[in-house]
Amino acid sequence: MRPVIRPEWMERLKRAVEEPPLDRETAVELAERIEVDPEDRHLLDPLLEAARESGRRGHGNVVTVSRNVFIPLTNLCRDRCAYCTFAKPPDSPDAKTYALEEVRDVARSAQRSGCHEALFCLGDKPEVAYRSHREWLARRGYATTAEYLIDACEVACDEGLFPHTNAGVMSASEMQALRPFNASMGLMLENVSPRLRRRGQAHFYCPDKDPELRLRMTREAGELKIPFTSGILIGIGETPEERVDTLVAIQSIQASYGHIQEVIVQNFHPKPQTPMADRATPSDAIMAATVALARLLLGPEMNVQAPPNLSPTSLEWLLRAGLNDFGGVSPVTCDFINPEAPWPELEQLRARTEAEGYVLCERLAAYPEWIESRPDYFEPALLDRLRRTGRELARASEPVLEIA
């Protein structure tokens, strides 16, 4: 016989909706029980119902999406994650670093297709590991990839896009230099457990996946008043308790600084020819439960996101779990991190969202409430552009979500 959810858990879930956040102890107990028996709807359904109610209290029936272009400025990286196929060594035929004119060409094409966000995603500090990349940068007058990234973001701004940078671990001075040309920045926390950096674990060969480095950067972004994205990656060998502790760590930083505008719950996807190729992706139930726990631990106001291309069969579950954002969806480029997972058509995404009782609305790389209420988080010239474009989106109707 399947266990029935304990009465005290029901009371705690109700309290988490009325007086957020959910307490860590209950979150760990629920996560562990669902991990053992993810098909037990006696456990999962009340959790999803509480999370959905919390999400509705914070965001009503609105779910957002950003029409973006993915610009992988360089796929060189000094880290070697056990699940990654994005990073390439310099001698690989697939290794690529974009010239500034290539960035301009991609940005122009994206702008013509109605994109507003330029997602800059790149490997972490490749110049530290590869002399050839150091020489490539030096020939162009740069000492680091971060310096080069500044000019790439300025090019995207010149072409009418709003950059969001995810460049791995950066220093406070690097983020400060990028700030005038970025609507937001981000760094996936992934997991706070140092255990995952041990031999045989997903991050053993990844100095930049040290949780303390990533927590420090997240805090420094708060000190700099940068709209910031954090997130958790599930299915890489972590325990349910470690998942909860990662979400609790994000909530704690948010309570101190208030700068985290969105939290991504992302599911691991196995890739061929990687050490983790034989590991299964988390089930739809585990994914939905983690989104629900994120909603209840982070509170109704947080923007909780999950990439729709990584959960194509469970979008309805994610909406039930309190999700209110699908992140970036590109009509012009693939997901270079997960190229095996195509983006959904925006019209299809809208239809599935509306079938669950929600309205899909386009947003920019900074959320509307941030643009209107937190002017000190943006450089003045960037803020003016964000406000003008944001108001145009707000006035626009359904055609905004049609692929150009």
Query: Per residue in 348-391, pLDDT tens?
Result: 999 999 999 999 999 999 999 999 999 999 999 999 999 999 99
- What's the pLDDT at 214? 98
Neighbours of 346 (CB within 10 A): 22
Q: At what angle do helices 284-298 and 41-59 cross, to 10 degrees?
A: 50
Residue 40 lies in a domain: yes
Phi-psi region of 200 (alpha: psi -120 to 50; beta: other; left: phi over 0): left
Q: What is the mean pLDDT of residues 298-309?
A: 98
Residue 318 lies in a domain: yes
pTM over 0.75: yes
d(CA 39, CA 400): 38
Domain holding 70: CATH number? 3.20.20.70
Structure tokens given for 302: 């947080």
Q: In the chain, pLDDT over 70 holds for what percent of residues?
A: 97
Q: How many domains is the chain partitioned into structurally?
A: 1
Q: Which of 306, 294, 222, 202 is nearest to 251 (CA)?
A: 294
Q: Give the Å distances, CA to CA, from 195 to 28, 242, 248, 321.
A: 18, 10, 17, 29
- What's the pLDDT at 3? 54
3-state helix, strand, coil in the chain (%, to 5): 50, 15, 40
Question: What confidence tier does 397 reach under pLDDT thresholds 50, 70, 90?
Answer: low
State which residues form the domain around 274.
7-401
Residue 2 lies in a domain: no
Q: What is the pLDDT of residues 207-235, one digit of tens each?
A: 999 999 999 999 999 999 999 999 999 99
Helix (H) or strand (E) holding 71: strand 62-71
Q: What is the pLDDT of residues 152-201, one digit of tens each?
A: 999 999 999 999 999 999 999 999 999 999 999 999 999 999 999 999 99
d(CA 155, CA 113): 17
Q: What is the pLDDT of residues 75-126, one digit of tens each?
A: 999 999 999 999 999 999 999 999 999 999 999 999 999 999 999 999 999 9
d(CA 376, CA 23): 32
Q: What is the pLDDT of residues 268-277, one digit of tens each?
A: 999 999 999 9
- What's the pLDDT at 104? 98
- What's the pLDDT at 4? 62
Q: What is the pLDDT of residues 112-156, one digit of tens each?
A: 999 999 999 999 999 999 999 999 999 999 999 999 999 999 999
d(CA 75, CA 98): 9
Classify residue 108 as exposed, middle or buried by CB count within 10 Å of its CB (0-12, 13-18, 19+). Answer: middle
d(CA 114, CA 67): 7
Task: Give the contacts of 180 (CB within 8 A, at least 6 positions apart).
Answer: 379, 381, 382
Residue 1 lies in a domain: no
Residue 239 lies in a domain: yes
Residue 208 lies in a domain: yes
- What's the pLDDT at 260? 98
Residue 55 lies in a domain: yes
Asked if pLDDT for residue 53 goes beyond 70, the answer is: yes
- What's the pLDDT at 9? 87
